Structure 1
Amino acid sequence: MLDVSRTAGLGLNLRRVRTEKGLTLDRLASLSELTRGYISLVERGLKVPSIAALLRLAKALDVSVAYLFDPNSAQAPRYTIYRQREQGAIQTRDGTFGLSALAAGRTRKMMEPFLLTPPHKSAPRASHAGEEMLFVVSGRIVIKLDGEDIVMDKGDCLYFAGETPHEVRSLGRQKAEVLVVVALASSDTA
């Protein structure tokens, strides 16, 4: 089920930052290497961006991913805490894909942590700057990493270069939950 308020909020923040920086959809598409149509869908709250897309948009806009989720965040706190009962995952309209930014309140960080609920069908292939770590919190997944299928069970962890093309999907009846941490090179952080 799509939580329109959270998806729309991310889209509205993205549109606001883009227009404040004087960028057209076409220019942001060029800078982020995403399509104009895709960005338009995200801005209207009709598409949940992938982690790779969020990283590309944030880099193109020269802001942190956290800023796209919460542009009103104050000066970086000593710590941030994510409480599931107070937050909700942004999900696709058909409920196949869920994504929660786990440290949205903290800016200028070297890591971007997310809780991912991968669909049963492969999500679009991703690649991005930096390094990535996946830890299976529950369920089973298969990640296609540069063409190789790697099956992972609860408790398994995988660490790899983000530039390596990858896609992930849930296996079995229940969707998996995966902790994803993307570590950015210092020049990639905003």
Structure 2
Amino acid sequence: MDNEIAVGARLKHARLNLKLNLRQLADKVGCTESYLSKVENNKVRPSLPMLHKIAVTLGISVAKLFIDGDNAEGHVTVMRDGQRQVLRTEHHRAGDAVSLETLLPSHLCTLLEANIHHVPAGASSQGFLEHQGEEMGFVLQGELELTVSDQTVRVGAGDSFFFLSHLPHGYRNIGSVDARVLWVNTPQSF
């Protein structure tokens, strides 16, 4: 995955557009100024819940971090294998961060968001997310433990799932191999 997105500059740009300093944003999202500075300078990768909290506070979706400024021509947009952008999150252990590979051009799609979640063995979403919308997933490889509200289920290759996004939700890879999950949200919220 060579097309890793460095989200720091995009988050900083959004923060400055709102005329917020680091302390103000840190207070709103519940972290330190130092941590935010490291995120903005791509020294650390935030967890999925923290990245979502920062993006929502800045009035953007995580999907907007995938925007590269290119405009599609015609009625069909193709995102070739190996050319899609990848967003990596905070490491669970050395070397095994969850990453999201974008499947749709977020600057063209306003209702739908689709990614492939690459979840190394033992890695997790590192907390729970809650937002408006609906989500579905299809496990391409591996096995996850998915928790939605007070229900925990195991899903493996070939399984699909659906839930309402306003319920607290998170996941972890309980298998011995990396998991790959096609994950679709509507509206764009992550």
Return structure 1 stretches of 4+ with deviation > 6 angstroms: none
User: Which protein has the bigger helix share?
Assistant: 1
For 1:129 and 1:137, the matched residues in 2 are separated by 25
Alpha-carbon deviation of 1:15? 0.9
**1:34 Cα shift?**
4.6
Q: Number of residue pairs matched?
A: 183
TM-score (norm 2): 0.75
Secondary structure of 2:131's aligned partner: coil
Q: CA RMSD in A?
A: 3.2
Change over 3 Å in CA distance of 1:167–1:158 after alignment to 2: same
Q: 1:164 to 1:97 in 2, by over 3 A?
A: same
Q: Retained in 2: the 8 A contact 1:128–1:162?
A: yes
Unaligned runs of 5+ in 2: none
How far apart are the structure 1 equivalents of 2:158 and 2:170? 19
| Candidates 10, 19, 33, aligned match of 2:7 | 10
| Aligned match of 2:113 | 112
Give me the whole-angstrom Cα distance separating, in 2, the residues matched to 1:47 and 1:34.
16
Is 2:121 aligned against 1:132? no
- SS of residue in 1 equivalent to 2:137: strand
Distance in structure 1 (CA, Å) of the matches to 2:68 and 2:54: 14
Counterparts in 2 of 1:64 and 1:81: CA distance versus 1, 3 Å: farther
Counterpart residue number, 2:45:
48
TM-score under structure 1 normalisation? Answer: 0.75
Unmatched runs of 5 consecutive residues or more in structure 1: none
Percent of residue pairs bearing the same amino acid type? 26
* Residues 15-164 of structure 1: pairs in structure 2 closer than 5 A: 15-31=12-28, 33-36=29-32, 37-70=34-67, 72-74=69-71, 78-87=75-84, 89-91=86-88, 92=91, 94-107=95-108, 109-119=110-120, 120-130=122-132, 131-164=134-167
On the 8 A contact 2:49/2:127 being kept in 1, the answer is: no
SS in 2 for 1:85: coil
